[in-house]
Amino acid sequence: MSHPHPEAVTLTDILITEALSQRSSRAPNWQAEVQAMQSLARQMAQSSDSLLQSLVETALELCRAGTAGVSLVKTAEGEEAFRWVALAGTLSHHAGGSTPRHFSPCGVCLEQGIPVLFSYPERYFTYFQEANTPIVEGLVLPLVANNHALGTIWIMSHDEQRQFDLEDVRIMTSLADFTATALRLQQRQTGALLAANVVLEAEIADRKRAEVAIRQSETKYRSLFTSIDKGFTLLEMIADESDRPADFRSLETNPAWEQQTSLTNVSGKTLLEIAPDFEQPLLDFYSDVVISGRGRRTKYYTASTDRWYTVYASRIGGEGSRQVAAVFNDITERKRTEEQQAFLLKFSDALRAEPDADSVANRAVRMLAEHLHLDRCWLAEVFEQQDIAKIGWEYHRLDLLPTAGVYRLSDYPEIMRQIATQPMVIHDVTNDPDFADSEKALLAQLQIQALLVVSLRKGQHQVIWALVCTVTTARHWNESERVLLEQVSERTWAAIERARAEAALREAELQRVREQSAREEERQRAESLAELDRAKTQFFSNISHEFRTPLTLLLAPLQDVLNDRAHPLDPVHQERLELVHRNSLRLLKLVNTLLDFSRIEAGRMEAVYEPTDLAQFTADLASVFRSAIERAGLQLIVDCPPLPAPVYVDREMWEKIVLNLLSNAFKFTFTGEIRVSLHSTDRNQAILQVQDTGTGIPPEHLPHLFERFYQVRGTQERTHEGSGIGLALVYELVRLQGGTIEVNSTSGAGTCFAIALSFGTDHLPGERLRRGEADRIQTARTLTSTAMGAAAYGSEAERWLATDSKADETDNFSSENEELLKSIDLPSASSVPKSATHILVIDDNADIREYLTRILSEHVQVETVADGTTALAVAQERVPDLILSDVMMPGLDGFELLEALRADPRTREIPIILLSAVRGKNRSSKDWKQGQMIT
C-alpha cells in the first residue's frame, strides 16, 4: 500500500473539518429521518443480521451521499485494520476490503475522537486512487460504545456540487449512536466479555490519544487564530421583545481585530456598549447574515478610527443559530493610496489650467488644505544665504490671522527657522518633549498644535520651497500624508516653474499690449475726470436745489416774533411766518449736516462716549415718529427690551443715527409697518435694526448707498427732498461709535438697516470716555453742537403728510418768481369771475403749494396736486387754463409731464410754466422750447 510523497500533499492539506462551521446548513427532513429510525429500531429489536447494511443505506439516502459505509476495527496477523463490513452506493462492490489502522481516514477520526471532514483524501491516502472514482469529500464519525472504540461510520461525495454541512453531521451522529448501540448489543450477545475488556483498554488508550489530538488541534487552531493578520470576531445576536435583532455581543476576538479597531477587553460586551454610535448599516449587515444564513461581504468606513475595512461574515451553526463569525481586513492604506492618486490627478489638471505662477501656488495650497482638512497651509520661498523667508501664498481659516509676508530668519527662535527650512512631522506640540516651553507658547500664540513640513531643495545649500501644513488641534499625521505632501510640493514647484517660463515668453508680446493699454488708461483717466466733473456738477445742482427754497422763504429772525406773547400776530401773518420758520429750521438742519461732514473730513468731530441706557434712549427717539407714522396708516413697532449693560455712545450722534434711519424708512414706506428693534447677542454686541415694508432698494444701488450725495431715483417716495447725505452721515457716525452698519433690501418688499455696537470701552478712545462727573471737564465739547433735537425730524415727517402721502424732493422757489407770477397777464378779479380761469399747481412740497395757492387764489381758481402722475390725470379730466409745475417730483417729473401733455391733443395747447431752483442747461433744448421755465 503506497504512502504519500513527503514533499507532496500533507494531512493538513486534506483535513477541512473547520469548513463545516462556515457553511450554511440545509433544512432538516424530520419526517424521513423519523421513518428511517423507526425502521432501524424494528430491525435491531429483531436482531436482524442485515442491520448494518440497512444503516449504511439509510445514511446514503438521508445524507444524499455517493457512498456510505461502516468500518470496524479488526486484528489480523498482529496488526489492527479497519474492515469495511457494510457498504452502499458507488463503492459498494469493495465491501470486505480494509485500510490500515494508523494510516487511514478512519484512523485519523478515532485519533481525534470527533467527526472529521476530508477533501479529496486520495491525494494523501493514495490507495483510494485504485478505485478510479474521485472522492470529493469524506465525512467520518467514530463509533464509540461504553468508551470503547468500535470503528467508524462514514459517507463520501463523488459530486463537486455536493458538500457536506452540519446537518449531515447531526444525522450521521444519530446513526453512529444507533450503530454503536447495535454493535454493543451484538457483542454482548456473543458473550465475548474478555475481548470486550481488551477492547475497552484499547478504547481508553485511544480516548487519551484522541484527547491529546484534540488539545493539539485546539492549540493549532488557537495559534492560527492569534497569528493571522486578518481581524476575527465571534458575535452573538441579541434580540428585542419582538425577536428582532437589537444588538450583538462580542464572544471572542483575535489580536489582529484589536489592533485594527484599537479596542481591547470587549469580550462579553455588546457592540452598542463598545461604541454607542456604532454604524447602523453594519448592524443590519450582521442581522441579515444571522437571519438568512448566507455568508456576505461588505466594505465600510469607521469615522472614529478613520479606517476602511472589508468584512466577510457567516453564520456559525445551523438553522436557529444566533452566532456570526466576521473576518476583517484593513484596506485603509489601499483606499488612501487610491484617494491620493485621484487627488494628485485632479491637482495636476487644476494647476495646469492656471494662467500664472501666483495662481498656481494659491490654487495648490487651497486644494491641499481642503483635501487634508487643514486650518492653515502656506508655501514659502526660503533664501538661507540672505537670511530671508518669503511667505507669498497662503490658505487659512477665516478666523485665523494671515502669515503672508517677508521674514528675517535670524529674528525668530530656532523652532521657527526649522519650520521654514527642515522637514518636520509634529503630531502634538503640547506633549512633544523636543519643544521648549517658550517655543510651545509661541506656537500656541500662532494657534499651531500639529504641523507637517516638507522642504524641497533646489541646489546644494539653498532651500527654495517649504510647504507647511498646520492645524489648531493635535493630529496624527500618517505616512501617506507625508508622501502626498512631498508629491504635491514637487508638482507645485514644477507647475510654478512652467508658469514662469510661459510668462517670460509672453513678455515680448505684452510689451506692445502695454503701450496700447497705456493709451487706453489715458482715455479712461480722461473719462474718470469727466465723471468727477459731472459728479461735482451734480453736487452743486443738489446743493442749489436744497438751499434756494429755504433761502427764498427765509425773511428774518423769526423765533422772537413767533414767541412774542405781548404782541401776538394776527392769524394770517402767524401762518406766513410759521412757513418761513419751518424752512429756516430745514435750512439749519441741512447746514448742520454739512458742518458734520466737514468736521469728519477734517478729523475734528468731537465725540463724548458715556454709558447710556440704549434701549430706553432708542425707544424715546422712535416715539417721536409715532404720530406721523400712525397718521400715514402705518404701524410703528418698537422692540427694545433692556440690555444687560449700558452701552457707551455719543448721545447726540446716536440721536442723529436713529432719527435719520427712521426718517428714511418713513419716506419710502406707504403700507405695512416700521419696526425698531434693539437686542444683545452672544458676541457681546448690541444690534439695532430699523426695518420697513417700503418700496425697497434695487440691488444695483446697494453698493453705493452710503456714498455721499448718492440718491436712488425712480422709486416711490413721500417727497423728493434730500441731498443724498443722510445715510452717508449715518455711516460715518456709526464708525465713530466703533460700530458697523449693514443694509439688506428687496425691491417691493422693504429694507432693513442693522447697526452693531460692542459693549464695554475697549474699542473707544479712552480720552473721550465720560464714565462720571470726574470726566466731564476732560470730555467737554469745544465746538458748537449741531444737534437739532428730535422734534425737528418729527415736524418734517408731519409736513410730508400735509396734503398727499407722496412727497420727495423739495424744489425751491426764489423771491423773483413772485414778481414774475405777478407779471403774468391774468384777468383781474373784477373783470373775470374766479371760476372762469383755472390754474393747476403741481409741486411735491406742501409749503410751496400753500404759498402759490395763497398768492394766486385772489385772482383765479387754483387746484393743487403733489406729483406729475396725478397732475396728468387731473389735466386730462379737466383741462386747466394754465399749469404751474415743479421740475423735480416723484412719479413723472416736470419735463416728463410736459412731454405727456404735449403728446395729448386735448392738453397740447395748455400754457405751461416750469418752476425750479436748478440753474444751468442740464436738459435738452427741446425741453426748454416746450415750456417756459422759471428758476
Q: What is the DSSP string of 46-79?
A: TT-TTHHHHHHHHHHHHTT-SEEEEEEEEEETTE
At residue 775, what are phi and psi to the nearest 5 degrees? -95, 0
pLDDT of residue 804: 43
Half-sphere exposure of 439 (CA within 13 A, CB side): 17
By CB atoms closer than 10 A (0-12, 13-18, 19+), residue 706 is middle
**Is 200 in contact with 147 (CB distance < 8 Å)?**
yes
pLDDT of residue 823: 43
Mean model confidence pLDDT for the chain = 80
**Is 625 in contact with 610 (CB distance < 8 Å)?**
no
pLDDT of residue 824: 43
Read off the C-alpha cell for 608: 463724548
Name the helix (H) or strand (E) containing 87.
strand 79-89
Name the helix (H) or strand (E) containing 769.
none
- In this prediction, the residues of the chain whose per-residue pLDDT falls under 70 are 1-7, 46-49, 187-201, 204, 207, 210-227, 304-305, 415-417, 420-421, 458-464, 533-560, 580-599, 602, 714, 719-723, 772-792, 794, 802-835, 917-935
pLDDT of residue 196: 46
What's the DSSP call for residue 24? P
CA triple 459-463-468, angle to 5 deg: 145
**Is 828 in contact with 858 (CB distance < 8 Å)?**
no
Cα-atom radius of gyration of the chain, to the nearest Å?
51
DSSP string, 402-464: P--EEEEGGGS-HHHHHHHHS-EEES-STT-TTS-HHHHHHHHHTT-SEEEEEEEE-SSS-EE
pLDDT of residue 822: 43
3-class DSSP assignment, residue 506: helix
Helix 790-800 / helix 846-856 crossing angle, nearest 10 deg: 60
Distances in whole angstroms, Cα of residue 751 to Cα of each of 373, 655, 699, 720: 39, 20, 11, 19
- The tens digit of pLDDT for each residue in 824-883 reads 444 443 444 454 789 999 888 777 888 888 888 888 999 998 888 888 889 888 889 999
Name the helix (H) or strand (E) containing 130.
none
- The tens digit of pLDDT for each residue in 338-360 reads 888 888 889 889 988 888 888 99
Closest C-alpha to 267, from 312, 316, 218, 233: 233
CB atoms inside a 10 Å sphere around CB 672: 14
What are the beta bridge partners of residue 232? 327
